[in-house]
């Protein structure tokens, strides 16, 4: 086990993105598309709901990965920024109060409140950032943690916006007369609400992922990673530490805000207690299990942490809790991801993605003598070849020294 040797990496972003660089890439992209389409057509409304929630969670996980994974700043405050996004959406898009005492709402369009949710969350991030980012490591963790508690207090008391302890309803995404929670017929095809949300959320996630991917290949993204790997080194190389950290913080808050707004509008009704520390920790668990500093890792991790309990519930793998002594599926899930955090951090800090990469490399080594030699550059083509804790660098892996 190496002791924090600074990771050497090939210049990131040296090549343009090559989504369809090779025949095997073609095949995997087509396969993924087919899976998505088949799922979309075949899946029941229940399954669509599970997947939709998970896709929303993946957006927030992506945001957290920008801050914690790529830039190395500990954050337990993502629930707070999701809440900011959600309440911005509620305030701007909610139905105007019909009787005094109802939470406020301006009834604006979805096309306004969704971006606004991200922007306001980003602004709050920019406001909190200078204080929080003066600190690092455990201090930053504790400050972001306190943000969640202070947020809960504010949300409980800002009844006009949040509805107080009873919570409030959230606006449904709707463009003109097209409301995503009604059954609609487009071009002769009747779509269920679940399918429509799927069609809404998946592109947002894809756009966010593409955006993060491109930021990480840019000067800013390289600065983020430099800050993570060695702050002093980064500063000497001319990286403005404050700017880099603030950039990551703001981008992360933006994505969290979007995810929070989507989550609240999909649930329709949220109480302030929902935005708690457990939610934050679940997201951190998601990026650790999925893969730190990896886009696919954020998405995979979100599936693992957020879809798993639903799937367990769906198949009734756990008998319904009988008073004391029983574990609910939520508890079981907590146990699983608690263990996974420990196991992954100990044995595979790259998460599921790291595992996949390693097995891919092993496979390639196994097949080295067959055929044309495959696609030697494939690993660098993955959304991120970087790894927070350990250099799973290409050469090391292909030589089979990844451990």
Residues that bind other proteins (CB under 8 A): 1, 3-4, 68, 72, 74, 131, 133-139, 141-143, 145-146, 149-150, 152-153, 156-157, 228, 231, 241-242, 245, 277, 281, 284-285, 288, 292, 323-327, 331-332, 334-335, 337-342, 345-346, 349, 388-389
Instruction: Give the nearer residue to other proteins in terms of CB position, either 45 or 243.
Output: 243
Instruction: Give the nearer residue to other proteins in terms of CB position, either 135 or 220.
Output: 135
- What's the Cα-to-Cα distance from 76 to each of 190, 268, 298, 320, 326, rounded to whole Å? 42, 25, 16, 31, 29
Helix (H) or strand (E) holding 189: strand 189-191
Alpha-carbon gap, residue 280 to 259, rounded angstroms: 13
Alpha-carbon gap, residue 189 to 68, rounded angstroms: 42
Q: Which residues touch 401 (CB under 8 Å, ≥6 apart)?
A: none
* Contact present, 199 and 291 (Cβ < 8 Å): no
SS3 374: coil
Shortest reach from residue 142's CB to other proteins, in Å? 5
Shortest reach from residue 30's CB to other proteins, in Å? 37
DSSP-H helix ranges across 77-166: 78-93, 110-132, 138-157, 159-162
Q: How many other CB atoms sit within 10 Å of the CB of residue 384? A: 25
Instruction: Give the nearer residue to other proteins in terms of CB position, either 56 or 284.
Output: 284
Shortest reach from residue 186's CB to other proteins, in Å? 44
Shortest reach from residue 237's CB to other proteins, in Å? 15
Shortest reach from residue 121's CB to other proteins, in Å? 20
Instruction: Give the nearer residue to other proteins in terms of CB position, either 112 or 335.
Output: 335
Instruction: Give the nearer residue to other proteins in terms of CB position, either 72 or 193.
Output: 72
Instruction: Give the nearer residue to other proteins in terms of CB position, either 201 or 226.
Output: 226
Shortest reach from residue 368's CB to other proteins, in Å? 32
């Amino acid at each position: 086990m190496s002791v924090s040797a600074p990771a050497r990496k090939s210049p990131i972003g040296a090549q343009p993105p090559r989504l369809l660089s090779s025949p095997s890439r073609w095949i995997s992209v087509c396969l993924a598309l087919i899976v998505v389409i088949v799922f979309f057509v075949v899946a029941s409304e229940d399954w669509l709901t599970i997947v939709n929630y998970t896709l929303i969670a993946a957006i927030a996980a992506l945001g957290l990965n920008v801050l914690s994974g790529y830039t190395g700043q500990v954050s337990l405050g993502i629930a707070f920024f999701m809440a900011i996004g959600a309440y911005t959406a509620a305030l701007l898009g909610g139905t105007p109060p019909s009787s005094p005492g109802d939470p406020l709402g301006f009834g604006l369009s979805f096309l306004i409140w969704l971006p606004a949710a991200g922007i306001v969350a980003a602004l709050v991030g920019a406001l909190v950032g200078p204080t929080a980012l003066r600190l690092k490591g455990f201090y930053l963790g504790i400050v972001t943690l306190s943000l969640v508690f202070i947020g809960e207090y504010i949300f409980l008391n800002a009844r006009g916006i949040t509805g107080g302890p009873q919570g409030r309803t959230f606006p449904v995404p709707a463009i003109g007369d097209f409301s995503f929670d009604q059954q609609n017929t487009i071009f002769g095809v009747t779509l269920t609400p679940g399918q429509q949300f799927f069609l809404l959320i998946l592109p947002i996630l894809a756009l966010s992922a593409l955006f993060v991917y491109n930021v990480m290949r840019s000067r800013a993204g390289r600065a983020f990673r430099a800050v993570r790997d060695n702050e002093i080194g980064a500063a000497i190389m001319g990286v403005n530490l404050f700017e880099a950290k603030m950039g990551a913080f703001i981008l992360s808050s933006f994505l969290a805000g979007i995810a929070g707004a989507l989550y609240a509008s999909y649930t329709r009704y949220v109480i302030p207690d929902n935005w708690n520390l457990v939610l934050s920790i679940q997201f951190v668990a998601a990026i650790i299990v999925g893969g730190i500093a990896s886009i696919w890792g954020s998405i995979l991790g979100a599936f693992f942490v957020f879809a798993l309990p639903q799937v367990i519930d769906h198949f009734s793998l756990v008998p319904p809790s009988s008073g004391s002594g029983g574990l609910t599926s939520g508890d079981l899930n907590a146990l699983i991801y608690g263990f996974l955090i420990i196991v992954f951090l100990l044995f595979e800090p790259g998460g599921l993605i790291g595992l996949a990469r390693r097995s891919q490399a092993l496979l390639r080594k196994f097949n080295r003598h067959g055929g044309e030699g495959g696609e030697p550059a494939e690993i660098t083509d993955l959304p991120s070849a970087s790894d927070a804790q350990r250099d799973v660098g290409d050469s090391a892996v292909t030589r089979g020294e990844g451990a």
